[in-house]
Amino acid sequence: MKIKNICCIGAGYVGGPTMTMIAAKCPDIKVNVVDINKSRIAAWNDRDVNNIPIYEPGLSDLVAQTRDHNLFFSTDVDAAIAAADMIFISVNTPTKTYGVGKGMAADLKYIELCARQIAAVATTDKIIVEKSTLPVRTAEALRSILDNTGNGVHFDILSNPEFLAEGTAVSDLLHPDRVLIGGEDTERGKKAQKALVDIYANWVPKEQILTTNVWSSELSKLTANAFLAQRVSSINALSELCEVTEADVNEVARAIGTDSRIGPKFLKASVGFGGSCFQKDILNLVYIAQTYGLQEVADYWEQVIIMNDHQKRRFAKKIVKTLFNTVSGKKIALLGWAFKKDTNDTRESAAIYVADYLLNEQAEITVYDPKVTAQQIYNDLDYLGTRSSEENRRLLKVVDTPLQAVEDAHATAILTEWNEFMNYDWKEVYDLMLKPAFLFDGRMILNQQDVEKIGFEVYTIGKG
């Protein structure tokens, strides 16, 4: 089965980069990325590729190379579905905010809407690829919708979860650890699986393309993110113990990370993990375990989230305690708002919750982030609903330079590990701040002794 035309529904952080890479590596395949969000599609089609809606190192170059050649961005969803041999579903699956499973289960309404639209429009056989992060056995629901509301055409369903990390998405797509493709154990299912294998095989070694059944593939994505988040919460739990015992969490991490059974990755203490996947996927895993009556399994994974929330609160409380137990009317500079460096994604960023805690204490906050817009920062705070939109804008200001942020500040907190923060003239920052000048390194990117020599009073996570 030779694929000549691909449609991807959803032009977000997964769909946009993934389809751009497929277009770049498969010039004989026409790739249509569609989304009902007109402003997002307009941004993808902006004449200046530096204005595309997603910031990822190297992505704009790939878009410039492929756009309007074999990569197209459009709001005409029906036309793209009708023309496609293979359809990737890459829409958002947020945590439910209502009804049964509120706050834990994945909200699959956008997945269902996609399935119904595909079924209504398709007049030829299609391969449907689950690209969104989904609960195990979602393919069963897709199959039911497609088979019962369609036009008599045949649909093969594959699960192809994405394991890329924001900030390194292009590199991860170009050199993946593995590509996972789950399919049905039938002759048609195997042919559909092979069709997708053949696409990735244009640049990924075949031994790194793993094939499984659909259910294993769906569960593997949730499990991978849960294991990574678990490591972050584990080292963060130890960071608090290190602080009260005068141990150094960096030295502890180095000692255990050299054990080949453990390894060094994801053992860096911080103010906490963020992003669209870790928390959402763990909560989904907790909910699935609960629905099957596996309460002990659910409790185990929920503790990863509890620890992460605790770490963010603990960091904010440390700022208040250090500033003589009050931050009311005091200016605090936050450097970084994105949940990690090299992305403009702010979903579940630790900065949001640290800022919210400090604003509740009537602090006056200034924020600088090199890639996140002021509108996005205010949207993040408004979404929490803790204060009015007007109060958020009165108490928090977004500035264009880090020096504007730190001028006359009582404290500066680093909340995103942007490379530029490591290369600042920290003496200049110190001179601009009020004295005593407090520095809170939430990402452990500075040499504590160096900044202490300048005159800062420094708090670094995990150091007694």
Instruction: Enumerate the active-site residues.
Output: 162, 221, 277
On whether the CB atoms of residues 276 and 340 are closer than 8 A, the answer is: no
Task: List Cβ neighbours of 396 (8 Å cut-off, separation of 6 or more).
Answer: 355, 359, 364, 365, 366, 367, 377, 378, 381
Cα 288 to its chain centre, rounded Å, is 21
Helix (H, G, I), strand (E, B) or coil at 275: coil
The CA dihedral of 340, 345, 347, 350, to the nearest 10 degrees, is: 30
Return d(Cα 261, Cα 221) in angstroms, integer: 22
Query: What are residue 7's DSSP bridge partners?
Result: 32, 87
3-state class (DSSP) for residue 67: strand
Residue 223 burial (CB count, 10 A):
15
The strand pairing partners of 72, in sequence order, are 32
Phi, psi (rounded to 5 degrees) for 181: -130, 115
Residue 270 near residue 341, CB atoms below 8 Å:
no
CB 352 within 8 A of CB 326: no
Helix axes 109-121, 138-149, angle to 10 degrees: 30
